[in-house]
Structure 1
Amino acid sequence: MGVCSRYLPVLPSLEELVKVLKHCADSKWLPFGKAMHAQFVIRNKISRSSHVTHLNSLIRLYAECGQLGLARNVFDAMPLKNVVSWNALMAGYLHSGDHLEILVMFKNMVSVQNARPNEYVFTTALAACSHGGRVQEGMQCHGLLLKLGLEFHEYVKSALVHMYSRCSHVELALQVLDAVPGRYDNDIFCYNSILNAFVGSGRAEEAVEVLRRMVDESVAWDHVTYVGVMGLCAQIRDLQLGLGVHARLLRGGLMLNEFVGSMLIDMYGKCGEVLSAKKVFDGLQKRNVVMWTALMTAYLQNGYFEESLNLFPCMDRDGTPPNQYTSAVLLNACASIAALRHGDILHARVEKLGFKDHVIVRNALINMYSKSGSIDSSYNAFSDMIHRDIITWNAMICGYSHHGLGEQALQVFQDMVSAGECPNYVTFIGVLSACAHLGFVKEGFYYLNQVMKSFKIEPGLEHYTCMVALLSRVGMLDEAENFMKTTQVKWDVVAWRTLLNACHVHRNYGLGRRIAESVLQMDPRDVGTYTLLSNMYAKAKRWDGVVTIRKLMRERNIKKEPGVSWLEIRNDIHVFVSEGSNHPESVQIYMKVQELLALIKPLGYVPNVASVLHDVEDEQKEGYLSYHSEKLALAYGLMKIPSPAPIRIIKNLRMCDDCHTAVKLKLDLGKRWCQGETGSSFRFL
């Protein structure tokens, strides 16, 4: 042994060892630290009888380097432990996210070992309570530290405020802030915790009060403060407050990091200032995926769907790879314009990038396929999911309802309840809409009055509007009107127009005129009401009434939206307007329409001239019917899209009865499949 020891390197003393191990821990230089540990074991300089300080250094080394098993071995082998030993290992568990083990150790330290925790141990334990949402354990820690007189330590105060804020007990956090005096620089951490808790829980008024208090006390803001305040401005859509905060940020000279920059973009987007959001984005020196996604979201939220999609190739050229949130935003943009082809391409990209199993992406896929008319693909995305959240179920239920597939929607709802998922407000909009499509009056009222009550969900305007639609669909117009009169809710124009449209369909013109007058008092510029009222007069052959309504529309500068249909062929969008001739192949399209009409007349097609709301001869009415936008779009689709590929037509208005009959017969000729999208969906097989 003596001979071998001559060749061992000269090692530092135990005091120097502590410094070396500290350096290894700070730099996470694990191999050298382990080598030093081994050499000292060989030299018998470290053993179970070694000084606790040296062993604490080893615990910290292994904990900082993520080797918690080795750290625990050293800790468990120590014959004597001090408070630093406990905190070193607990801090390691905190960094690794094992919050429960911290609380187990804390309980063992206090109850079994009778050790006295210091302010650092309490800070670690309270942090574990914060992350785990364990407010009861946090309160017990609070009680003990009060007993030990440690509540005045700055770290403890901050940890208490943060714990109560994270655990949704913000009032207690405020009590701690007020009860314990603190340093100027520490209070900003506490205020940030409280502010973000109020914003995160949607308690905007309380958040504004905290902000006002921070200003009154001249508390200096940091990046976290600006993120929280921008989130508040976005939540309450307060542009003036947002502008003031932005100005303060510029005056303070604080650099825009990714979080502040993205929140600025988000704030302007939610306040409807897309150009300002773009200006902030353009002024950023460094852009990452968070900022790109924030701008895409701003465009999406304000109806600039194509602009949102056009950012994606720019992002690619910038060398910024998308993440799952970017993918979800882009898919939702596709959904908003029913861009199925683009959605398919994005779906393939999502698969390639490995985002397909993210719930947020799957939800966006369900939404995109549903709103783009491919409900089967929507269900495929739904059925392949391993994990589903409430948004997943709602997207599928509402998707089926949107397509008029009420039975499937109700079945998904039953599956949802069976899976243990608790429905929410949105769920029952889809359920009641499904009942409306099916004409299930009894079932609809059962869901409204019984099932929603059992889930403690208070019905709102959207649910009641679905019931009006349900009663209207089955022709129970008087009952629908009585329901609206007796239900204690502030009805909007949409609900009244739902009943008005039913009056038009069921030819109850007296009730329709009365409702139309009420709607126009609520919204004198509601073009849909003028149109329906004019149509009712026309169907009743009250041409004087039609003239009066149209004159009133001219005087008020109210213009009826023209019927438009469009379809996508080889990445080109072709737009058709009723009786329009702007398409370069209009002559051929009109000839194709006439050819198709000639073919379907032997099949029983008779032009529904009663649906033409003009005081002209039947022959002229038939001419009006021939060139509705959907007929033109279908004719062009049959000309250009080879069989058996489906023809997908998008419309801005609901299809008239004549077009519905004619299109179905035309498709029957060639056994073609067509799908259309308006406010609701239709399809023919």
Structure 2
Amino acid sequence: MYRKCGDLSTANQLFDKMPVRDVVTWNSLMAGHSEVAYVDKALDGFAKGRKVKIKLDRFSYASSLSACGDHGDVKKGRIVHGLVVVSGLAHRPFLTNSLIDMYSKCGRIDDVRLVFDHAEELDEVSWNSLLSAYVRVGWPEVVTNILVWMHRSGVRLNTFALGSIVKACSGFNDSEEVRKMLHGCVVKVGLDLDIFVGSATHDMYAKNGGLEEAIKVFECIPNTSVVVFNALIAGFSRLGTKQCSAVRFDALRLFSEMLRRQMRPSKFMFKSVLEACNLIKAFKCGKQIHARIITRDLQDDEFVGSALITLYSSMGQIEGSFRCFHATPKQDIFTWTSMISACVLNEHFERALCLFNELLGLGIKPDQFTISTVMSACSNLGILRICEQIHCFTTKAGLDQFTACGNSQINMYSELGDINAAIRTFQNTGSLDVVSWSAIISSHALLGCAIDAIGLFEKMMECKVTPKDVTFLAVLTACSHGGLVDEGFRSNFSF
């Protein structure tokens, strides 16, 4: 009772006072420590149980393996595995499943397959655990093969296993065939109307751009929950940068429909709706949602606060952004980055640098996106000394390895007219992308180095980097400044 209530201190006191303890007593305490991630205590209890000659059963070993898996301690997990074999319980599916789960959590997929292939007896959980292990390491092709293997072996997929697999496969960005195959499995086994599996299927499509499929799944799910609404709204907001405004308005219509059903929006839903309002510039609607956030007492949530900061900065109301910023705890770096970006967007560059100094004074470590935004502020101020200080800080913090920082640094030195520093940054950037090439070409174009800009463009094409519109704009600008009409016509023809 105390264990299930989370009071392990009292549970331990009762355990210590017991004159006689059986295996159930030891299992109960080990399970309690394992549940709250006290891995060392769980394994210590396991060792003490063996030392006092308690005959441990399958539940004892399962708790220990669970603790090893949660802690990622494969070394201790192997020791427990050896004890399972010595105890003669290794042939039981219950412990086979625990071993598969432990090795899967430790990222040892080869050991997972070894345990599975050498098991004397398997059940449905064994197969589903194997499937989940390959999902966890991100091997969609193997997941497909195992599903076919399961089907041919007559193994039944249950609700929670299939739902978890579908949910995990949401992260497979380039596996449309796998998603459709999984959806086909869901329908064939008759679980497409199940709320858990249906929600996972809907989320899988929404996260990967399949909005039409997501809407169809959404319409088929009976008794849709807040989670389902949130997934579809987030899907509309996520695709807002490429889709038309009508698609983005669907997110707000869904939010209104959810309110009409008297469902309580979560903080993640408020964040998604605010992002949709920002994309379609529905600022009046955004303010109404802000009022609802205040009534729900969610204004101090960092996810919601960051979305509100971005909303008001897009409206040009920098003081509104600061009010939202001051109402947020500001513990995570993304809140500071949002506020610094808001200052840069509204051309309050000095305030952006003041915020950066403040977060450093609080001991908060900036990331590459924060540095990139600060560099943008520095380039607009045009003060070389500050730019060099930010450059030094980036190098000392080890953030110069990120492409985003390198690109911003190229632009920063370009704005200052220091083409040599821009070139050195370009050469030292480890992973160049189309933004990197566009930035260095633009730097040469702005400073009148037309021939060099065209040479860089040709080298970029040799490196098989696909140019974007801003790249062609930089090349044409270089040709215009250098009077290179033929080269300009050639690059425009290529576009």
**Normalised-by-shorter TM-score class:** 0.7 to 0.9
- Structure 1 position 435, deviation (Å): 1.1
Q: By how many angstroms is 1:164 displaced?
A: 1.3
**Counterpart for residue 167 of structure 2:** 127
Question: Are 2:323 and 1:279 equivalent residues in the alignment?
Answer: yes
Q: What corresponds to 1:184 in structure 2?
A: 225
Query: Against the structure 1 CA distance between its residues 378 and 401, is the aligned structure 2 distance closer, same or farther, given a 3 Å change threshold?
Result: same
C-alpha contact (below 8 Å) 2:140/2:169 kept by paired residues: yes
Q: 1:142 & 1:317 partners in 2: Cα distance?
A: 51
Is 1:248 the equivalent of 2:292?
Answer: yes
Matched, 1:444 2:488: yes
Shift, 1:262, TM fit: 1.5
- Which residue of the partner structure matches residue 269 of structure 1? 313
Report Cα offsets for 1:40-90 as digits up to 9, x if no partner.
32232x23xx22122112222332344444333222211332221122233
CA distance in 1, matches of 2:168, 2:257: 33
Distance in 1 (CA, whole Å) between partners of 2:311 and 2:401 is 29
* From 364, 367, 373, the counterpart of 1:320: 364
Deviation of the 1:373 alpha carbon? 0.9
* Aligned pair partner of 1:226 in 270, 273, 277: 270
Aligned to 1:365: 409
Matches within 5 A, 1:80-159: 80-111=121-152, 113-133=153-173, 134-159=175-200
C-alpha separation in 1, matches of 2:70 and 2:230: 25
8 Å contact from structure 2 (residues 179, 204) kept in 1: yes
Which residue type is aligned with residue 127 of structure 1? K
Code of the aligned partner of 1:425: D
The equivalent residue for 1:172 is: 213
Partner of 1:206: 247
1:546-574 Cα distance to aligned partner (Å, 9 max, x none): xxxxxxxxxxxxxxxxxxxxxxxxxxxxx
Over the residues paired in the alignment, what is the CA RMSD in angstroms? 2.5
Structure 2: how far apart are the matches of 1:277 and 1:384?
36
CA displacement 1:529-586 (0-9 Å, x = unmatched): xxxxxxxxxxxxxxxxxxxxxxxxxxxxxxxxxxxxxxxxxxxxxxxxxxxxxxxxxx
Cα distance, 1:145 vs. partner? 2.1
* CA displacement, residues 17-46 of structure 1 (integer Å, 9 cap, x when unaligned): 4455456656767676554433332232x2
CA positional deviation for 1:129:
3.7
TM-superposed deviation, 1:182? 3.2
1:281-680 alignment runs, 5 A limit:
281-448=325-492, 450-452=493-495
Q: Distance in 2 between matches of 1:334 and 1:388?
A: 22
SS of 1:80's equivalent in the other structure is coil
- Give 1:254's aligned amino acid: L
TM-score by length of 1: 0.61
For structure 1, the 5+ residue unaligned runs are 1-5, 453-685
Report what 1:52 is aligned to.
Answer: 93
The aligned length equals 442
**Aligned partner of 2:157: which letter?**
P
Can you list the C-alpha shifts for 1:399-424, whole angstroms capped at 9, x where unaligned? 11111111111111111111111111
CA distance in 2 between counterparts of 1:201 and 1:87 reads 37
Counterpart of 1:222, as a letter, is: S
Structure 1 residue identity aligned to 2:124: V
- Structure 1 CA distance for aligned equivalents of residues 341 and 251 of structure 2: 28
Structure 1 residues 30-41: aligned runs within 5 Å: 34-41=78-85
CA distance in structure 1 between the partners assigned to 2:223 and 2:278 by the alignment: 31
Deviation at 1:382, TM superposition (A): 0.9
CA separation of 1:422/1:31 partners in 2, compared to 1, >3 Å: closer, same or farther?
closer
Cα shift readout 1:128-168 (whole Å, capped 9, x = no counterpart): 54212212221122122212211112221112111211221
Cα shift at 1:247: 0.9
Contact 2:333 2:365 in 1 (8 A): yes
**Which amino acid is 2:403 matched to?**
V
**Residues 233 and 255 in structure 2, CA contact (< 8 A), matched pair in contact too:** no
Aligned position for 1:665: none
Cα deviation per residue 1:272-322 (whole Å; 9 max; x = unaligned)?
Answer: 111111111112234321111111110001111122112221111112121
Residue number in structure 2 paired with 1:161: 202
Closer/same/farther in 2, CA of residues 93 and 261 from structure 1, 3 Å limit: farther
Give 1:203 deviation, angstroms.
Answer: 4.1
Query: Post-superposition shift, 1:121?
Result: 3.6
1:489-508 per-residue CA deviation (whole Å, 9 max, x = no partner) reads xxxxxxxxxxxxxxxxxxxx
Letter of the structure 2 residue corresponding to residue 174 of structure 1: I
Which letter does structure 1 place at the counterpart of 2:129?
A
DSSP-derived class of the 1:364 partner: helix
What is the identity, as a one-letter code, of the residue corresponding to 1:272?
G
Cα distance between partner residues in 2 of 1:28 and 1:445:
60
CA displacement, residues 219-278 of structure 1 (integer Å, 9 cap, x when unaligned): 431122122122222223332122111111111123633222222112211221111111
Change (3 A) 1:59 1:200: farther
What's the secondary structure of 1:191's corresponding residue?
A: helix
Change (3 A) 1:107 1:351: farther
How many angstroms apart in 1 are the aligned matches of 2:449 and 2:61? 74
Alignment-mate amino acid for residue 199 of structure 1: G
1:386 Cα deviation (Å)?
A: 2.8
Partners of 1:154 and 1:186 within 8 A in 2:
no
Rounded Cα–Cα distance in structure 2 between residues aligned with 1:378 and 1:124: 48
Instruction: Tell me whether 252-261 or 386-395 shows the greater mean CA deviation.
Output: 252-261
- CA 1:230 to 1:213, structure 2 compared with 1: closer, same or farther past 3 Å? closer
CA distance 1:248–1:389, change in 2 (3 Å): same
Instruction: State whether structure 2 residue 300 is matched by structure 1 residue 260.
Output: no
- Structure with higher Rg: it is 1
> Contact 1:164–1:172 (CA<8 Å) still a contact in 2?
yes
Q: Is the 8 A contact 1:161 1:193 kept in 2?
A: no
The answer to which of 333-342 and 128-137 deviates more is 128-137
Rounded Cα–Cα distance in structure 1 between residues aligned with 2:121 and 2:237: 42
Q: Amino acid of the residue matched to residue 77 of structure 1?
A: H
Task: Decide which structure has greater helix share.
Answer: 2
- What secondary structure is seen at the aligned counterpart in 2 of 1:217? helix
Structure 2: distance between partners of 1:172 and 1:185? 19
Q: Which runs of 5+ in 2 are unaligned?
A: 1-49
Aligned-pair CA distance for 1:13: 2.4
Does residue 72 (structure 1) correspond to residue 72 (structure 2)? The answer is no
| CA displacement at 1:201 relative to structure 2 | 3.9
Task: Answer whether contact 2:248 2:280 (CA < 8 A) is retained.
Answer: no
Aligned amino acid, residue 451 of structure 1 = S
